[in-house]
Each structure stands twice: as structure tokens, then as C-alpha cells.
Structure 1
Amino acid sequence: MTNLLEQAASTPLSREEARLLMQALLRGDFSEEQMTALLLALQQREETAQELAGFAEAMRSASVVLPLTDEERATLVDTCGTGGDDSGTFNISTAVALTAAGAGVPIAKHGNRSVTSKCGSADVLEALSIPVGLEAEQAAEVIRAKGFAFLLATKMHPAMKIVAAVRKTIGTRTIFNVLGPMTNPAGATTQVMGVYSAHLVPIVAEALALMGMRRAMVVHGAGDEGGSGIDELSISGVSQISEVRDGVVKSYTVAPEHAGLKRAPMSALAGGDAKENAAILRGIFGSEPGPRRDVVLFNAAAVLMVAGKANSLRKGVQVAVAAIDSGVVSRLVYSLGKR
């Protein structure tokens, strides 16, 4: 393990080597100094698909597993993204998850509290009175009954306590920002995963294909001209997509116009704390027009596509509009809060 630890600092690992290294890390075989050195070293070089697959598989094997059937897992979709894009947007992927669930897509939303932003997905859901600390059995029951449940990362990945202090000390995004969204505890076989950098799009997609993901879109959207991008499909510019379908990865780009949407600056998507972001989501679900609604529709359309509910982004937008404007999404949010 010490040899692997030293190798990982400068040389890509095989899938099996990555799996063994992560298993040792989660067992607590390394000191905090060794873990810090590893995470900082991985920041300095590009990840490979083989490494990401091996790391993520080890994390999945150490996580709590929801008691669902294979048939149930086959219908589940996740919208968890990496975060860490420093965009300051509201909780887009959380709004997307609720919108898609309202449109009939069973969602197992994986996420956490705020780490690098003002408001994490768990924070805004709590502000909407939606439970975020469900046990595995409770989450499975809610998915069956409501079509949506939130899976709190710290609850579902107890072994990650090993690296919590190290990640806090480092204070910036690490490889775990990428690995977290790849380790859905419900075993979702379909996913739309936003990543904080365009270079990660094809790499993560290939890793998901190696892990047997049935269908997925890995996305990164452009920000304003000259600005940083976001871990979502963007309405401010062109978005990069690598789509996984039955083990095959296809890469392409899309613009908001392809889905019948207008462009808007990143400033129009700004968020705040949990209370402010909850108010933004209520406004969107109450059919309030504008860029915030549009970016949710765009990303919800991607979820509807991978779930087989729409055959194009334009059609997906129409389905998402119907779910919101009919009041179905607002009623779902109310129902989840009344559990």
C-alpha cells in the first residue's frame, strides 16, 4: 500500500490498484499526513477513467446500501454534481431533481450539506421542510411512495469520516468532489452528472461506462465570456456533454437555443443562503418566468432524456414545463415535507 501511495503521487494507477488504495484509505491504514499528501498530489495531475472507476467502486462497496430490488434500481436517476465550480448559483441540480420527479422520473438524489458553497443540496431541502437524514430503509420507502428521496452523503458513506478532517484542512476541492457523485447508495443506473471542469467530462463518462452505468450524461456548461463555467447545462453559453449509453460514450455540444431557450448571463442565476435558495425554488415551481426557471428546464430535460421520458432536449423542456405549470412539482414538494 505504501508503494501504491507513492506511485499515485505521480503515475496513474490501474483500476484494481486504485480500488485497493481507496479500500486501504477507508480502512484507516494511512496517517492524516499521508492522506493529505495523496489528495494534494492527485490535484496536480489529470485523473484517468480507470482510476476514477476503481476509487469509486471501493467507495461504493463501503457505503450503506438501500434495500431496493434490481428492477427498482434500474428506474432510478441521480442528479448529483461535483460542485466546486465557484459560480455562486442557486441549487440548480436540486431543483432539477424535484422537477424530474414531478414529471414521473424516480429520483435518488445524492448530496451533502454546504462544503464549498453558501448552500448545499441538503441545506436547501431542509429549508423546504424536506427530510434529508433518512436511514436507508426510510429512503427506499419514500422512493417507492413519492418517487423522490434525498440520500445524505455523510449518512450513506460512514467510512468517509476517515478523510473528513483532511478535506477540511485542505479547504479546496479534491478528487472526492468527483467521486462522490459516482457513488449513489441507491445504485441508480442512470444519471446526469455535472462536473466543475470541461476536461473531466469525457474522463468521468468513460469511468461511468466502466462501472456499468446504463445511461448517463456528464456535463459542463460555459459561463459568461471569459468567465468560469458551471457543473450544469448552461444557458450562458455552449455546454459540453459526454453521453453514456450501454457502455458507449458519445461526446457533443449543445446550446440553450437547441432546447428553445434564451441565453442569459450567469449573474441571473445567482443564489444565496438556504432560505434565499428555497424561496428561489418555490418561485420556479410556482411558474415564475425567467433565467432561473429556464436553466432548471434545460437540465431537467437532460434527466428526462436519459430516463427515456423525452427523445430530445426540446421535448424534455416541454415535459418539464407541464410538470411545473400543472402544479405537480409544487404538490410533490409539499407532500415530501409532510412526511
Structure 2
Amino acid sequence: MAMQAYDKEEHPFAPFIRILGKGKKGTRALTRDEAYEAMRMIMAGEVLPSQLGAFLMLMRVKEETREELAGFVHAARDSFTQPLDVSPADLDWSSYAGKRRHLPWFLLSALLLAENGVSVFMHGAGGHTNGRIYTQNVLAYLGIQAATSMQESQQQLLSNRFSYLSLEHFCPQLFEIIELRRIMGLRSPVHTLVRLLNPFNAAYSIQGIFHPGYRQVHQEAALLLNQPHVSVFKGEGGEVERNPDGDCLVQSVHEGVLSDELWPALFQRRHMKPDDLDPQQLVLLWRGEISDEYAEAAVTGTAAVALRLLGKGDNQEDAHALALGYWNNRDKQRF
């Protein structure tokens, strides 16, 4: 197979691959500045496809550091950030994992917050992993139209206090890389960095991860990025959804201070996974036409974590009580 010709001089991206791939003794992590420049080149289309694949997989095996993640996020944001005097979003909510075992009950948590004065901007991507239910595919059941641009999201936030925007509409380069999972067979660092993008630069950001080891990396990267208020926890399926059947460690940043808070399980016994996942149940639960203690606990428990992040409650008990009050007084005819 013929290879693409290139100048006899070394390609400017080659040093980044060499840093990551020199073997057990020679390899090292990228500095934050190196990570920024590597991602800047990727975003600018200055990298050959073979280089991109090698870089992503070497980084996947090594796993990204907080400095690398901060550099990647900074470069990605520089490629799309539009200056706004005041952010239209109170809370940035990432949704990239998709659900497999349970429905995306967290979507009702976000809408519950929006109904009570919190502007929630949700961003994500769907379809990159078979067998999962993605947020953008569920919105229609709730009569919600996904935005197709940052400008449309801003309008939706101002009018409805909720908007969902797919990654492909504000950072298509990263969306294309996420789609490479079908070819690579593995996730890449992009699946991590997109959770920290916070496109509207909201003061508060909440993130869900699947592997507990990434929780602290997210927390410390947010600190390096000077994001004022961030919470990250191991969510059900990797989404921002508290699993009420287990303890939940929430690691946060508040104005440069790191903190950890353990939220105890809400049930003594675990619930069985449902046989079928019908998105219409989201509507039925909101309307009060079905009863599901696990789902209601997931909705209110997730909302409580978000409310605690937002400073609406001095402790877990106050945040839970506020979330339950929101749920009990929701507009059941909304959907």
C-alpha cells in the first residue's frame, strides 16, 4: 500500500508521538504546553490520519494526566469559544456515555432544575457505542428539540432554561474523533476531555465518569483550568446520574479548593435491572402515571448532588429535601 509522501524533514507532530512511544524507560507524559500544542494541531487539521491514530492509542494506553487533560481542553476550547459577557447557562452538564442498564433518568433531574430556575446546558454525542441509549435520541419523547448551534442553545436557555447541543455542532473535529471508536475499537482521551469543555463557560459544571480512577483527574484538571465550581462522580453507566443503590463519592472544586463528599446509598438492597428500556417511561414517571422507587430516587438523588454543587443547601440533607420538594411540586402536565 502506497504511503502518503511527506517532506524529508520530520513532521512537526512527530515529536509528540515520540514522547509517548519511546518505551518503558524513555516515554513520559506531555507537559501542559505540549498537550496544548498537540491538540491545537489536531484541531487545526495539521496532523496526518496515521499520526492521529498512533497518538490517540498511545495516550489511551498511558492514560492522560491532569496536565495533559488541561492542555487538551484549553486547545479545544480555543477552537470554538465565542466570548460572552454573561454566560446564559448556570450549570454545564456533560452527557457522552449513554445508558445501557437503566433509562437516562438524569434527564428528568436536569429538567427539574430548569423548572426551578436553574439554566442547564447539556452537551453530548450519541451513537458511538452500540447498545446504548443516548440523550439526543430520548429528547423527542419529552417534546424537546435539540439545538443545532451555540446561538440556538443560547436562545433556548434564555427561553426555557434548558438546551441540549451535540458536540458535532460546536466542535466537529472532536466529534469525528469520537466516531473513530468504531474503527479503533477503543475509547480515546477525547471521551474524557469533552466532559470538561464547558462551552458557555458556566460557573458550575457537573461531570459523570465510569472508571473511578478518572474522578480525581477530572477534579484536578478542572482546578488547573480555573473552573470555579465543578463536581465529578462515578455515575450510573458513566453519565451524570447518581445510582441510589450504592455510595457515591463526589469530588469537587470550589474557588480553587478541592473537596470530597461521600453520599450514602439511598436503599439497603439493590434493585434488579429492568428487562426493557422504554424511553416513554420517562414521560410516564414525570406525569405520575407510573411508580418506580429506583427511578424517583435516581432523579431526586442526582438533582440533590447538583443542588449541593450550586450552593442550594448547606448539607446533603438540605439538598435532598429541596430536590424532593421540587419533585413533589413539579408541573406534571409539562410533557
TM-score normalised per structure 1: 0.84
In structure 2, what residue type is equivalent to 1:322?
A: G
**Correspondence for 1:247 among 233, 253, 256:** 256
How far off its partner does 1:271 sit? 6.4
In structure 2, what residue type is equivalent to 1:267?
A: M
The answer (yes or no) to whether the contact 2:232–2:250 under 8 Å persists in 1 is yes
SS for the counterpart of 1:44 is helix
How far off its partner does 1:254 sit? 2.1
The 1:154/1:182 distance shift into structure 2, 3 A limit, reads same
**Correspondence for 1:29 among 34, 37, 46:** 46
Counterparts of 2:34 and 2:248 in 1: how far apart (Å)? 33
Specify the alignment match of 1:337 in structure 2.
none
The 1:58/1:269 distance shift into structure 2, 3 A limit, reads farther
The 1:232/1:266 distance shift into structure 2, 3 A limit, reads farther
The 1:188/1:263 distance shift into structure 2, 3 A limit, reads farther
The answer (yes or no) to whether the contact 1:79–1:94 under 8 Å persists in 2 is no
**Which ranges in structure 2 are unaligned for 5 or more consecutive residues?**
1-12, 22-26
1:236 aligned onto 2:241:
no
Which structure shows the higher helix fraction? 1
In structure 2, what residue type is equivalent to 1:212?
A: N
In structure 1, what residue type is equivalent to 2:104?
A: N
Which deviates more from structure 2 when the two are superposed, residues 175-184 or residues 231-240?
231-240
**Correspondence for 2:300 among 297, 300, 311:** 297
Higher relative contact order (CA 8 A, sep 6+): 1
**Correspondence for 1:150 among 138, 158, 164:** 164
The 1:329/1:191 distance shift into structure 2, 3 A limit, reads farther
The answer (yes or no) to whether the contact 1:90–1:270 under 8 Å persists in 2 is no
Specify the alignment match of 1:47 in structure 2.
64
SS for the counterpart of 1:328 is coil
1:91 aligned onto 2:104:
yes
* Structure 1 runs, 4 residues or longer, greater than 6 Å off: none
Specify the alignment match of 1:104 in structure 2.
117
Counterparts of 1:329 and 1:313 in 2: how far apart (Å)? 26
Correspondences of 1:124-203 after superposition (within 5 Å): 124-160=138-174, 162-164=176-178, 166-203=180-217
Counterparts of 1:44 and 1:118 in 2: how far apart (Å)? 24
The 1:295/1:269 distance shift into structure 2, 3 A limit, reads farther
SS for the counterpart of 1:79 is strand
The 1:31/1:167 distance shift into structure 2, 3 A limit, reads farther
SS for the counterpart of 2:139 is helix
Specify the alignment match of 2:283 in structure 1.
282
How far off its partner does 1:231 sit? 5.7
How far off its partner does 1:290 sit? 0.9
The 1:163/1:156 distance shift into structure 2, 3 A limit, reads same
Counterparts of 2:102 and 2:58 in 1: how far apart (Å)? 29
The answer (yes or no) to whether the contact 1:286–1:324 under 8 Å persists in 2 is no
Percent identical across equivalent pairs?
A: 21
Counterparts of 1:312 and 1:175 in 2: how far apart (Å)? 34
The answer (yes or no) to whether the contact 2:81–2:199 under 8 Å persists in 1 is yes
Specify the alignment match of 2:6 in structure 1.
none
1:324 aligned onto 2:333:
no
TM-score normalised per structure 2: 0.85
1:205 aligned onto 2:222:
no
The 1:318/1:285 distance shift into structure 2, 3 A limit, reads farther
The 1:254/1:40 distance shift into structure 2, 3 A limit, reads same
Which deviates more from structure 2 when the two are superposed, residues 191-200 or residues 33-42?
33-42
Counterparts of 1:319 and 1:244 in 2: how far apart (Å)? 22
Counterparts of 1:199 and 1:160 in 2: how far apart (Å)? 23
How far off its partner does 1:161 sit? 5.0
Specify the alignment match of 2:85 in structure 1.
69
The answer (yes or no) to whether the contact 2:178–2:190 under 8 Å persists in 1 is no
Larger radius of gyration: 2
**Which ranges in structure 1 are unaligned for 5 or more consecutive residues?**
335-339
The answer (yes or no) to whether the contact 2:248–2:263 under 8 Å persists in 1 is yes
Specify the alignment match of 1:8 in structure 2.
20
Q: How many residues were matched structurally?
A: 315
**Correspondence for 1:60 among 55, 73, 77:** 77
Counterparts of 2:204 and 2:101 in 1: how far apart (Å)? 27
Specify the alignment match of 1:308 in structure 2.
311
The answer (yes or no) to whether the contact 1:103–1:323 under 8 Å persists in 2 is yes
